[in-house]
Structure 1
Amino acid sequence: MIGLQFGIHTFLNFDNLGQLLPLVWGSLVAGVILGLIAGAIGPMIHARDLAFAVHGTSELSFAGAAAALFFGVSVNLGAIAGSLAAALLLGWLGVKARHRNATIGILLPFGLGIGVLFLALYTGRSSNKFGLLAGQIVAVQSTQLVSLAVVAAVIAAVLVPIWRPLFFASVDPEVAQARGVPVRALSMAFMVVLGLAVAMTVQLVGALLVLSLLITPTAAAARLTVRPFMLSVLSVAFAITSAVGGIVLSLGPGLPISPYVTTVSFLIFLVCVVIGRVRERRGWNQRPEVGHHPHADALHTH
């Protein structure tokens, strides 16, 4: 019993939470911003089946950040440069999953290897190395918060005007192209947005656990609804809960943020899975009619 109590106190400690929260207000704001970004683009990642692409992009983001750390330049800019390089390449390849996945399989180990090389050459603080892999948002500074807000504004400025045609091109690219939607251009634009989002998310949970914010919240929301609008709302809510909840839970124990973010995200997913199955058994889910696309309300806007 003593060992169990010690274990729980080691991982969950709220004794000084009231004193610690004011010290990390910037981190909490950053968590909200990242949750908004991740939740907003999550449904598009889900519709375009780009979970593997997110992982590959995060590894090049990690490589860029590690290189920037070694050369003594902005880690944020390095992460963005690496993400954009991967995103532009994947966007240039188009929407064919076969070619895209093969390229990601090549980029992923290359990016991880380059990143590990630069971290091995870096002679500074070990916490900086660990932060690139596991995140260190509890140490966010005002300049980092400003840069995060600027990138979020850029993502919103690009994503909002093209949301409807982009979703149309995501769920049915062949029909969209036949109706005159610039599928390839939209794909390239979204990959750039995705690259920026990945670079920012890496700053929270690190390169190895980026999927917990960009993939898991939408996967959880998809267990509850098929409607694009509600899918986006729930994805944003789940992503913000994961980010902010992970920050708050990690404060007392003083442990890395990433395990808490990923655990909260995973628990939300499990709860949604259970709710979804219960609703299916009781016939509460609204099932699309035969021949009706689950995202028809998005498709018929065009």
Structure 2
Amino acid sequence: MTFKLLTFNSQWMTTLHTDFVQRAFTAGILISIAAGIVGYFVITRKSTFAAHALAHIGLPGATGAALLGIPVLWGMGLFSVIGALIIGALGKKASEREVATGTVLAFSTGLGLYFANMSAGASKQMQSILFGSVLTITSDQLVIFTTVDIVLCVVLLAIFRPLLFSSLDEEVARAKGLPVTALGVVFMVMMASVITVAVPTVGTLLIFALVITPADTAAMVTRSPLRAIVMTMIICLVSIWGGLIISTMFPMPPSFVIVTISTVIWLIAKSIKALKK
């Protein structure tokens, strides 16, 4: 067995100025905004399993799109949103959502593998879907990311207060007459959109590093919703940009470095919180 040693890239500054790396930096900003908007509510609503599941629910959409020769991101987004609608509609309460999420996840994973076995191209596409590749993001994808960010900001401004109320205490919000089920469906669609945007960076297997881990870190540092959202964006951006810079300096997969940075920040916050108790 041989091990590949890490060799320093003396031309890393030049590499950082290439078009594909610059697009990756821009994507980092856009993805961080999206993750920050939704991440806080994922933690507050205890929807981490749903967030992880939605990334995999989009798998058959991605492999199916590869079969049909259409953009993978569109296929993945469509299936993720459909899955979000089904989970949101079937699971009116948190306990019901867990069952609905698991059921939809199992079916979608099986369907994704079936599509992958039908075509060599779809099977090959699974590698990038599972692990991501931030350095292959295109200009067209940046346009999609920007559009998603704008829509998310508009929707959040419109439903921020009732969504926050229902996230903190679902039963009281329901008793007050708030449309808890409808808010849940809207939030699930928002989460599906963010995950679809984030998957090209770290893939479905590592999606926690961008959507969940930074948000949980921020929640440990501050109880203010707005501060937590902003802090989530910052942590997410530091993880992505730091991962890009380090993986340019040394021959390491960007996804691995991004996940590592996000996890290290989370561990530091967790340790500090434990010491204060």
TM superposition score normalised by structure 1: 0.84
Q: Which runs of 4+ in 1 moved over 6 A?
A: none
Given that 2:116 and 2:122 are in contact with CA atoms closer than 8 Å, whether structure 1 keeps it comes out as no
Offset from partner CA, 1:87-137 (integer Å, 9 cap, x none): 101111244222211122222232223223323333239763311111012
CA distance in 2, matches of 1:209, 1:260: 11
CA distance in 2, matches of 1:264, 1:59: 23
Match of 1:85 among 82, 86, 98: 82
CA distance in 2, matches of 1:209, 1:235: 17
Match of 1:18 among 13, 34, 50: 13
Q: 1:108 to 1:88 in 2, by over 3 A?
A: same
By how many angstroms is 1:31 displaced? 1.1
Match of 2:64 among 62, 67, 72: 67
Gaps of 5+ in 2: none
> Residue 240 of structure 1 aligns to a residue in which SS?
helix
> Residue 73 of structure 1 aligns to a residue in which SS?
coil
Q: 1:252 to 1:131 in 2, by over 3 A?
A: farther
The structure whose Rg is larger is 1
Give the aligned residue type for 2:14: Q
Given that 2:43 and 2:215 are in contact with CA atoms closer than 8 Å, whether structure 1 keeps it comes out as yes
2:223 maps to which residue? 226
CA distance in 2, matches of 1:135, 1:273: 27
Given that 1:55 and 1:108 are in contact with CA atoms closer than 8 Å, whether structure 2 keeps it comes out as no
Offset from partner CA, 1:168-190 (integer Å, 9 cap, x none): 11111222223232212211111
Alignment map for 1:106-121 (pairs within 5 Å): 106-121=103-118
1:138 maps to which residue? 135
Q: Is 2:190 the counterpart of 1:193?
A: yes
CA distance in 1, matches of 2:81, 2:122: 27
CA distance in 1, matches of 2:249, 2:127: 20
1:159 maps to which residue? 156
2:146 maps to which residue? 149
> Residue 178 of structure 2 aligns to a residue in which SS?
coil
Query: Which stretch shifts more, 142-151 or 252-261?
Result: 252-261
> Residue 209 of structure 1 aligns to a residue in which SS?
coil
CA root-mean-square deviation: 2.0
CA distance in 2, matches of 1:208, 1:70: 22
Gaps of 5+ in 1: 282-302
2:97 maps to which residue? 100
Q: 1:251 to 1:115 in 2, by over 3 A?
A: farther
Given that 1:159 and 1:193 are in contact with CA atoms closer than 8 Å, whether structure 2 keeps it comes out as no
By how many angstroms is 1:155 displaced? 1.5
Given that 1:59 and 1:112 are in contact with CA atoms closer than 8 Å, whether structure 2 keeps it comes out as yes
How high is the sequence identity, in percent, across the aligned residues?
Answer: 32
Q: 1:29 to 1:224 in 2, by over 3 A?
A: same
CA distance in 1, matches of 2:199, 2:230: 22
